[in-house]
Amino acid sequence: MKGITILGATGSIGISTLDVVRAHAGDYQVVALTANRDVERLLAQCREFAPAYAVMADPSAAARLAGQVQAEGLAVEVLAGSEGLERVAALPQTDYVMAAIVGAAGLLPTLAAARAGKRILLANKEALVMSGHLFMQAVREHGAELLPIDSEHNAIFQCMPQGYRAGMDAQGVRRILLTGSGGPFRDIPVEQLAGVTPEQAIAHPNWSMGRKISVDSATMMNKGLELIEACWLFDVGPDTIEIVVHKESVIHSMVDYLDGSVLAQLGNPDMRTPIAHALAWPRRIDSGVAALDIVTIGQLNFERPDLQRFPCLRLADEAIRAGGTASTILNAANEVAVEAFLQGQLAFTAIAGVIETCMQSISFVEAESLDTILNADTHAREVAMACINSPERHTAS
Ligand code: NAD
Ligand code: MG
């Protein structure tokens, strides 16, 4: 029986994780569940999974949850804020931590899990993008086990040599082929991009996901963040990674070896597959995902990405090459710009312009400490907000 803490339990990945856990109730014990402010859903999850702890990042939501928990007589201790999140990521009875908070808010609890030497099931790619060096160092120093949940990185991990661990040098690998669907705007005329709405952007053709990552998929910043994520997870430079647009989302990524062998992992686009893989690794368990019907799919297509249409891909590539806090700034500016787009305050095509302005106007420094990283994150958010509020500053791209 393994104890599991689920950070971001009420989100798309959190719900899929609980779905797999529900089907293997004898093998996994839910120790803690966390959310930002969705009291109703977290309460329903507490009723079903009876965790010892429930954390709400938002203190007023935590107070409401505590009231409900008490009224119903549930044996759940309710905690609040980032201390609560960090505490449940490091509990002695927790063996596995699903890191599924969206954005920079996930960094501190995920880092706490690394420092406590847990098995980390990493969905929260932003945590790694903003602090790659520091995070991988914490994983190594504290003997944590890092298993990627992002479907592409999980696929790459599965195609790596036997015995491979995240952060190790992989023997015989020539290239990593990182696939992406190209999102909902892969084929629409470029001149229509400026007018697309949040509803259109979050309607992903193949995957059902949270709002932020759906917008990232539409700008292809998601693939840019994944490029950076892959560099850290697999200890390679960006030149070793080739991004391939594959609209069917059936091949989740590939590894090309020196001898000419190319290994791919295939499956239906359903996050329960990588979640079940990482939960049970190195065993295999049923995820509830239907068997892949390759004959009905019939055809798989591949293209190079269009960097004119997707400038965010170029910005992410520049950030990983620049090193230091460049990726932290990229990530923070992107989070602010995506939120402004979702709120109707920024055009879709201005997202890249805001990020580029931040990257050009803030100097990058060595990302040597957590303070440096958190300061760079805060500063980039301020610059991005100022930029959004003065539109003449982000019309560049
Ligand atoms: P989501 O928006 O559906 O869920 C986010 C979760 O984080 C919710 O439980 C929410 O309550 C919590 N949260 C949000 N803000 C918070 C804050 N400030 N403090 C504490 N908790 C907070 O997002 P998602 O689609 O499940 O994605 C989660 C992470 O997984 C992201 O980093 C995303 O990039 C990654 N990911 C998701 C998918 C997918 O299919 N959904 C695939 C690959 C990677
Ligand atoms: Mg992915």
Q: What is 55-86 written as a DSSP string? A: EESSHHHHHHHHHHHHHHT---EEEEHHHHHH
Task: Ligand 1: list residues with CB < 6 Å.
Answer: 8-14, 35-36, 38, 57, 100-102, 105, 123-126, 150, 207, 209-210, 212-213, 271
Whether the predicted pLDDT of 396 surpasses 60? no
Percent share of the chain, pLDDT over 90: 97
* 123/129 Cα distance (integer angstroms): 12
Whether the predicted pLDDT of 276 surpasses 50? yes
Q: Could you tell me the domains of the chain?
A: 2-148 (3.40.50.720), 156-297 (no CATH), 323-389 (1.10.1740.10)
Ligand 2 centroid vs 178 CA: distance in angstroms?
A: 9
Q: What is the CA radius of gyration of the chain?
A: 20
Order of strands, sheet of 2-7, starting from the edge strand that comes earlier in the sequence: 77-80, 53-56, 28-35, 2-7, 96-99, 119-122, 145-148
Do residues 312 and 190 lie in contact, with contact meaning Cβ atoms separated by under 8 Å?
A: no
pLDDT band for 304, please (50, 70, 90 cuts): very high
* 307/288 Cα distance (integer angstroms): 37
Nearest ligand to the CA of 105 is: 1
Which residues have C-beta within 8 Å of that of residue 36, sequence separation ≥ 6? 10, 56, 57, 58, 61, 101, 105
Atom of ligand 1 nearest to the CA of 208: 40
Ligand 1 centroid vs 386 CA: distance in angstroms?
A: 26
* 165/148 Cα distance (integer angstroms): 10
Atom of ligand 1 nearest to the CA of 209: 41
* 1/97 Cα distance (integer angstroms): 14
**Assign residue 8 a region: left if phi > 0, alpha if psi is -120 to 50, beta otherwise?**
left
Percent share of the chain, pLDDT over 70: 99
Ligand 1 centroid vs 259 CA: distance in angstroms?
A: 39
Nearest ligand to the CA of 10 is: 1
Which residues have C-beta within 8 Å of that of residue 77, sequence separation ≥ 6? 52, 53, 54
**Assign residue 28 a region: left if phi > 0, alpha if psi is -120 to 50, beta otherwise?**
beta
Q: What is the pLDDT of residue 395?
A: 53
Provide mean pLDDT across the span 45-58.
Answer: 98
* 349/10 Cα distance (integer angstroms): 30
* 394/397 Cα distance (integer angstroms): 7
Q: What is the pLDDT of residue 392?
A: 75
Express each pLDDT in 342-366 by its tens digit. Answer: 999 999 999 999 999 999 999 999 9
pLDDT band for 394, please (50, 70, 90 cuts): low
**Residues whose CB is under 5 A from ligand 2 (ion)?**
150-152
Counting ligand 1 atoms within 8 A of each CB, the residue from 5, 7, 13, 97 with the most, and so the one to mutate, is 13
Whether the predicted pLDDT of 207 surpasses 90? no
Express each pLDDT in 189-203 by its tens digit. Answer: 999 999 999 999 999
* 342/63 Cα distance (integer angstroms): 28
Q: What is 156-176 written as a DSSP string? A: HHHHSPTT--TTSPPTTEEEE
* 100/178 Cα distance (integer angstroms): 21
Atom of ligand 1 nearest to the CA of 151: 43
Whether the predicted pLDDT of 397 surpasses 70? no
Peptide bond into 282 cis (omega under 30): yes
